[in-house]
Chains A and B, each alone.
Chain A
Amino acid sequence: MSGAARGPHYWGIRHLSPAGAYHLLSLLNEVKPTAVLIEGPSDAGHLASQLVARGVVPPVAMLAYTEQLPVRTLLYPFADYSPEYQALLWAKQNGSHAAFIDLPTDVSLALNELRRMPITSVGESEEDADAVPAETVGFGAIQQQLYARIAELSGEPDYEAYWERCYEHLLQPAAYQQAIVHFSTELRDLTEEAELRMAPQEVAYNEIREAYMRRRIHDTIESGHQADQIVVISGAHHTPALNLQLPLMTDAEMKRLPRVPTRMTLMPYSYYKLSSHSGYGAGNIAPAYYELLWQSMKRDELNKLPALYLSAVAQQLREQGTWRSTASVIEGVRLADALASMHGGTMPTWRDLRDAATVLFGHGDFGVVAEALARIDIGTAIGSLPEGVSQTPVQDDLNRQLKRLKLEKYKSLVSADLELDLRENRRVKSEDAAYLDLNRSVFLHRLLTLGIRFARKSPVRQNDATWAEHWVLQWSPEAEIETVESTLKGETIELAAAYVIHEELLACADIASAAKLIRKSCDCGLPQVMGQATHALQQLAVDAGNFEQIAMTVHELSVLLQYGSIRRIDTESLVPLLQQLFLRGTLLLLEASGCNDDAAAGMVSAIHAMSTAAQEHYQEVDEQLWNAKLKELAERDDRNAKLSGYAFSILLERHEAGEEECAQEVSRRLSPGIPADIGAGWFEGLALRNRYGLLSRPYLWRELDAYIGSLDEEPFKRSLVFLRRAFGSFEPREKAAIAELLGDLWGAGADKVGEALQRPLNEEEKVQLKELNDFDFGDL
């Protein structure tokens, strides 16, 4: 083509293609263009130079996000073998002008919104309009079918294998370019009609992009670059449409493009993320393998790749403890070569290598090699950006904090445990060092509040160690994106966290969640927000009348008061609030206890929370009154029997009730006239606490025994249900102890009963038990 000599050099690529990058570099070296134009957001010009700055380690990504909530984002990931990335590098090394020429992100994000909307043309009925989005899905399916058909025709197991065999392994420059141009033109022709019919939005969107790109190419020529000194790099799909003969976008048209304000930043990316999906929708399944392919290509040692890959897999397997010999690596390479030759290929594809690994290393079982393959194919590589390279203020702050708190090494894709001791470390000099773990905890809590998935808090295993915290840290590109999104909430992590809690506070409508927010702001080391939250709680507390909520709030406050000092936060202001709420809770106890059995479960934990608080803060709160109310609840017959029993068990535990009282109460509660469900329900409540306390009081069991003995057949059956439930939560050891106690009562002697219990069942008893299993509880 003589026209091509005068026009710009067009270079169609597949994103993330090592062969594309390889051939592109030789083209660039041959043409030595003064301008390199790349398909990418044209407002990212300032990032282009930073992408290739010293110290940048791919994979990295450009991230565009809207300035307003809800945040919408666009990602442009680059690996070392991205042709675009190599073009940028080349331009920098050779002092050429490099620019992105696709629609700026403010336009593409605005258009993205429009693309998602169903199309309604004039005169169409509602139902027709509804059918359009469904058909858009249909076009994706058509594309997939086409890919599947290509794979089938080529005799390859899948489209990726076809692509790799036919393009990635093709190292003759002319053949490569010809093949790719031919392929993408044909593909475009094949799908154009269907796309226009089924996904007109996509066609329109691409039209706009291509007109814009043509305009940018035109402008570059206008600005003084020789047309044949320009190399244009775009997805192969767009290459035919970038011909300057086609209409350019006019100024007027450009003005009419919709826009939403956006900002852009760079972020480190990971191969893992690249493998799952990418901004282009055409990611790599195996980025680490492609990296290996790219390195071998650069060194001109493509033929060594199979051996390299399979050795790496064998190495990985050995590290995991599965021994595989060098001989099996050799046989693996031979098998992969044979598979390649059956497909007329020059060298094995990734798929061939994987299958060879399955046969030779896995002995036919993919499960054996799956993990090792994942490590070698995807890997745990994560990119990095040096300091000073464009980032959002929050990203900068995050990195600063990580450094200050010595957490940088945790910024890895492999999860790591972190144990924190919040107490002051007295053996170090500076205050920063003394409270390092506390500061770390505050920082991690702030990230948690912001929803940045870097740290996960594990429940503390040892209940008493309030100064210990256990975290699991794992970095991911998602966490980076979430960090960037936090920019809109504040300039630093601290400000953003304060903003989030403040927002939650405004939406908070009950005291329990207000109390949680106080706790949260305390954890995040934000005293000011904590003050606001306390104030909000005070206001809400005026109207609070729900016993359970009050109890939970009292619990939160109590925890804060006890352990606030370890977080070096002043909690004195919370005391009056605790007193006020505790008093209210105490007064509400009796009324709230008149509930059914379903509600009683929640009440039990609420009563427990109040009792614990009463003990912990006996100086601050009116413990006397609480105990009096508990006593009243224990004695009343018109409240929920289970709760009365529970209240009595607390009194028993506190020695507020002696043996005599206890015996009396038990016999009163379990006297023959009382309905079985109430009697047994009371006992169930009693048995919820302090089992050893119960087991050490034989008179209690005497009374229970007498009670059960006194029941008639019908009430006995009813009580059985409740008693069974009460004892259901007992451990086997405890049950055995009860049996021994009862054995003693019946004069059998504890030892003999114990022996009898240990004896295996005989056949007759088994039959009897089996019959019991069929017992119908339906009528109870």
Chain B
Amino acid sequence: MEMDQKQAVLRLPAEKLYANELEALRAADQDAKPAGWQLSPRSVLTFLTGGQVGGTTISPKYIGNKRLVEMAIATLLTDRALLLIGEPGTAKSWLSENLTAAIHGDSSKVVQGTAGTSEEHVRYSWNYALLLAQGPSDQALIRSPILRAMESGGIARFEEISRCASEVQDALISILSEKTIAIPELGREVAAQRGFSIIATANTRDRGVNEMSAALKRRFNIIVLPAPSSLETEIDIVRRRVGEIAASYELNAAQPDEEAIRKVVTIFRELRSGVTLDGKEKVKPPSGVISTAEAISLLTGSMALAGSFGNGELTDEDIAAGLQGAIVKDDAKDQLVWKEYLDNVMKKRGATWRSLYSACSEMNG
């Protein structure tokens, strides 16, 4: 019964998805666990960067700079709040979710930062029916994820913090420095249990939308997540994630072969950096975001196309359709950028690229 439920859920949280890995790590864990932690820091690191524990293989969740993960864990060890910054699609939320899952075992205490996020989402609000009926009481109190994390000594996640209005952001300041939330209506204060912390993420593209105040920044340890450093790393990331997503969404298509992934990642890296991989030719970057996450969703999207409308084999036409959508966003200029790239770079790449080139050119019109 429970098994069935699990499979029906569209997207499992990390602690459920990797429950067996976490269990294996917990069983084998010999090192001391900090207060409120489910695993020792070293095991958390293994969970995120992969390895072998007993008979269980731990799949790497964050591929790339291991040192950054170490720094993130060390930050949480010093019960400082952690802020992950990066271009869109650099696995900020992914890292945040998995860190929380490994340390706290519950990654569901999330505040999603939007323009509509209010201070109540950060602190607490009321069930007004009860409030009117009984007056202020514990039952009428609706706790924010952050308040719940404080009470249980866990980790709350704050996604896209820089999209909130600054007064909402500032509500965090007292929480992070005093580690308490006062509830004057009930005449009491909730003090954070040991183990409480916040992992926030922010997007460098949103810089300037709601610039974080210096006071708030000072309360976070900030780690910048880079785009994957090398072609091979990025291919590895894309392949793993495409495989995982394809399995959970039951896409009726074959996995894209290594060659197709390599081509897509090559195109993305070149458009992102504005120069061809060999460094010989300049390329105009498009206006939109060209992240690893986009490459992953492009490929899974193409797989869905192939599975639903094709014969299940990923063709160049499917990839071309995905590329068109990913690269040419609403801006008309992107179409020119993409055309220029096709004619100046891709066309000259020889026979192996020919059919993808033709498919893309046709699609781009």
Contacts from A to B (Cβ < 8 Å): 157, 325, 327-328, 331, 334-335, 337-339, 341-342, 355, 359-360, 363-365
Contact = CB atoms under 8 A, between A and B. Distances in A.
B74 A342 contact: yes
Interface string B86-117: 00000000000000000000000000000000
Interface in B189-231: 217-218, 221-224
Contact of A335 (B41, B74, B83, B218): B74
Contact of A338 (B77, B85, B218, B222): B77
A454 to B, nearest CB: 37
Contacts of B74: 335, 338-339, 342
Contact of B71 (A325, A339, A365): A339
B226 to A, nearest CB: 10
Given A335-B75, A342-B42, A342-B45, 20 more contacts: A157-B67, A331-B78, A331-B221, A334-B80, A335-B71, A335-B74, A335-B78, A338-B41, A338-B77, A341-B41, A342-B77, A355-B71, A359-B71, A359-B223, A363-B222, A364-B83, A364-B85, A364-B222, A364-B223, A364-B224
Nearest to B73: A342
Residues of B contacting A: mostly: helix
B73 A335 contact: no
Nearest to B83: A364
B70 interface: yes
Residues of A contacting B: mostly: helix
B216 to A, nearest CB: 11
A40 B217 CA distance: 53
Nearest to B77: A338
B218 A327 contact: yes
Contacts of A335: 71, 74-75, 78, 80, 221
25 contacts: A157-B67, A325-B218, A327-B218, A331-B80, A335-B71, A335-B74, A335-B80, A337-B78, A338-B73, A338-B75, A338-B77, A339-B70, A339-B71, A341-B41, A342-B42, A342-B70, A342-B74, A355-B67, A355-B71, A359-B221, A359-B222, A359-B223, A363-B222, A364-B222, A365-B224
A564 B325 CA distance: 74
B249 to A, nearest CB: 34
Contacts of B71: 335, 339, 355, 359
A331 B217 CA distance: 13
Closest 3 CB pairs of A and B: A364-B224, A338-B74, A364-B222
Nearest to A351: B67
B45, B66, B221 — most chain A CB neighbours (10 Å) = B221
Nearest to B84: A364
B169 to A, nearest CB: 15
Interface string B34-47: 00000001100100
Contacts of A328: 218
A767 B73 CA distance: 61
A337 B41 CA distance: 13
Contacts of B224: 364-365
A355 B70 CA distance: 10
A98 to B, nearest CB: 43
Contacts of B218: 325, 327-328
Contacts of B67: 157, 355
A355 B221 CA distance: 11
Nearest to A324: B218
Nearest to A327: B218
Interface string B154-190: 0000000000000000000000000000000000000
A310 to B, nearest CB: 14
A596 B70 CA distance: 69
A530 B73 CA distance: 72
A359 B75 CA distance: 9
A337 B80 CA distance: 13
A157 B70 CA distance: 10
Interface string B48-83: 000000000000000000110011011101101001
A327, A338, A360 — most chain B CB neighbours (10 Å) = A338
A361 to B, nearest CB: 10
Contacts of B221: 331, 335, 359-360
A342 B78 CA distance: 12
Contacts of A365: 224
Nearest to A331: B80
Interface string B298-315: 000000000000000000
Nearest to A333: B78
A773 B221 CA distance: 54
A602 to B, nearest CB: 35
Contacts of A341: 41, 77
A450 B73 CA distance: 56
A363 B80 contact: no
A157 B217 CA distance: 27
A360 B83 CA distance: 11
B45, B66, B224 — most chain A CB neighbours (10 Å) = B224
A334 B78 contact: yes
Contacts of B75: 335, 338, 359
Contacts of A338: 41, 73-75, 77-78
Nearest to B32: A341
A334 B73 CA distance: 12
A363 B217 CA distance: 8
Nearest to B80: A331
Contacts of B42: 342
Interface string B275-311: 0000000000000000000000000000000000000
A157 B74 CA distance: 15
A339 B72 CA distance: 10
Contacts of A157: 66-67
Nearest to A352: B74
Contacts of B45: 342
A157 to B, nearest CB: 5
A571 B128 CA distance: 103
A334 B85 CA distance: 21
A334 B74 CA distance: 9
A757 B42 CA distance: 73
A157 B68 CA distance: 10
Nearest to B66: A157
Nearest to B86: A364
A300 B198 CA distance: 38
A567 B70 CA distance: 65
Contacts of B223: 359, 364
Nearest to A337: B78
Contacts of A363: 217, 222
A463 B78 CA distance: 63
Nearest to B85: A364
A347 B251 CA distance: 50
B186 to A, nearest CB: 32
A337 B78 CA distance: 9
Nearest to A323: B214
Contacts of B41: 338, 341-342
A328 B220 CA distance: 10
Nearest to A161: B67
A525 to B, nearest CB: 50
B75 to A, nearest CB: 6
Nearest to A342: B41
A63 B8 CA distance: 76
Contacts of A359: 71, 75, 221-223
Contacts of A331: 78, 80, 221
A88 B78 CA distance: 44
Nearest to A158: B67
A575 to B, nearest CB: 58
A44 B200 CA distance: 61
A335 B222 CA distance: 12
Contacts of A325: 218
A69 to B, nearest CB: 41
Contacts of A355: 67, 71
Contacts of B66: 157
Contacts of B83: 364
Contacts of A339: 70-71, 74
A338 B78 CA distance: 7
